[in-house]
């Protein structure tokens, strides 16, 4: 199934990264507080964070490039909203790199940056108003309300009335489709 299981040093609890939950051991059943992370190419990360250093560890797969997703139907970007698990199909994200949708009353914006091979989930709000986004090119999107220009990669507004604003990012994780379904059997696909 190719799903990571981690063990902490202190308690030897085994943790599922897809659930953020202790599966066996002293802390079984406890949930970790999720944090936002990126699975992105090194070249794009280094451009965004030039002072970064790296911990060199052995790999379990070859270099992370767009070739990793040569069969995008095998992957989803999973997230939770209103206590329910959802999945954005990777093939759909690659075909529609800026996708706005709602989960109940929660407006969301999913973006796929082709160069960084990374998907992000944002709250499309600035100054207490919901914005509607559309793609301009591989790097830029614009909101219909102010025509401000935003970076697809990180949700930063780089030009226009909202320059300097940053969209709030939400927690999500890239996963093999089968692994996500196994850990979240009631997960729903987001329609495109």
Tell me the C-alpha distance between 162 and 126, whole Å.
8
Strands (E), 28-178: 75-81, 84-89, 98-103, 106-113, 118-123, 125-126, 129-130, 133-135, 140-143, 149-151, 157-159, 168-170, 173-176
Residue 2 reports pLDDT greater than 60: no
Integer distance in angstroms from the first to the last C-alpha of the chain?
Answer: 26
Give the pLDDT confidence of 150-189 residue by residue, as tens digits.
Answer: 999 999 999 999 999 999 999 999 999 999 999 999 999 9
* Phi-psi domain of 12 (left: phi exceeds 0; alpha: psi -120 through 50; beta: other): left
Euclidean distance between CA atoms 157 and 151, whole angstroms = 6
3-state secondary structure of 184: coil
For the chain, domains (ranges, CATH) are 1-33 (no CATH), 35-189 (2.102.10.10)
pLDDT at 61 over 70: no
CA-wise closest residue to 110 among 18, 19, 191: 191
- Which tokens in the block code for residue 77? 């970007």
DSSP assigned state of 68? G
192 pLDDT tier (thresholds 50, 70, 90): confident
| Span of 7-16, 129-138, 162-171 with lowest mean pLDDT | 7-16
The pLDDT-based confidence of 112 (bands split at 50, 70, 90) is: very high
pTM of the predicted protein model: 0.84
Mean of pLDDT values over 97-123? 94
Helix (H, G, I), strand (E, B) or coil at 19: coil
The whole-number pLDDT of residue 140 equals: 97
Q: What percent of the chain has pLDDT over 70?
A: 92
Examine the pLDDT at 36 and tell me if it is beyond 90. no
Q: How many residues does the chain have?
A: 192
Confidence grade of residue 64 (pLDDT, cut at 50, 70, 90): low
In angstroms, the CA 98 to CA 120 distance is 10
Q: With 50 as the cut, is the pLDDT of residue 9 above it? A: yes
User: What does the pLDDT read at residue 1?
Assistant: 47
Give the span between the Cα atoms of 76 and 178, in whole angstroms.
Answer: 9
Calculate mean pLDDT across residues 101-121: 94
Encoded tokens for 181: 């379904």
pLDDT over threshold 60, residue 8: yes
């Amino acid at each position: 199934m190719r799903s990571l299981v981690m063990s902490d040093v202190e308690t030897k609890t085994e943790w599922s990264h897809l659930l953020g939950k202790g599966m066996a051991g002293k802390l079984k059943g406890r949930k970790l507080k999720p944090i936002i992370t990126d699975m992105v190419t090194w070249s794009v990360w280094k451009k965004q964070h030039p002072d970064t250093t790296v911990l060199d560890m052995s790999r379990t797969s070859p270099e992370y490039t767009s070739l990793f997703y040569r069969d995008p139907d095998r992957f989803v970007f999973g997230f939770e909203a209103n206590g329910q698990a959802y999945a954005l199909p990777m093939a759909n994200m690659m075909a529609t790199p800026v996708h706005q949708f709602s989960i109940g009353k929660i407006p969301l914006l999913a973006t796929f940056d082709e160069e960084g091979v990374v998907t992000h989930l944002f709250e499309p709000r600035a100054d207490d108003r919901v914005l509607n986004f559309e793609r301009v090119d591989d790097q830029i999107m614009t909101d219909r309300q102010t025509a401000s220009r935003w970076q697809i990669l990180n949700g930063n507004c780089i030009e226009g009335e909202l320059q300097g604003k940053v969209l709030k990012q939400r927690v999500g994780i890239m996963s093999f489709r089968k692994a996500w379904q196994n850990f979240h059997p009631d997960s729903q696909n987001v329609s495109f």
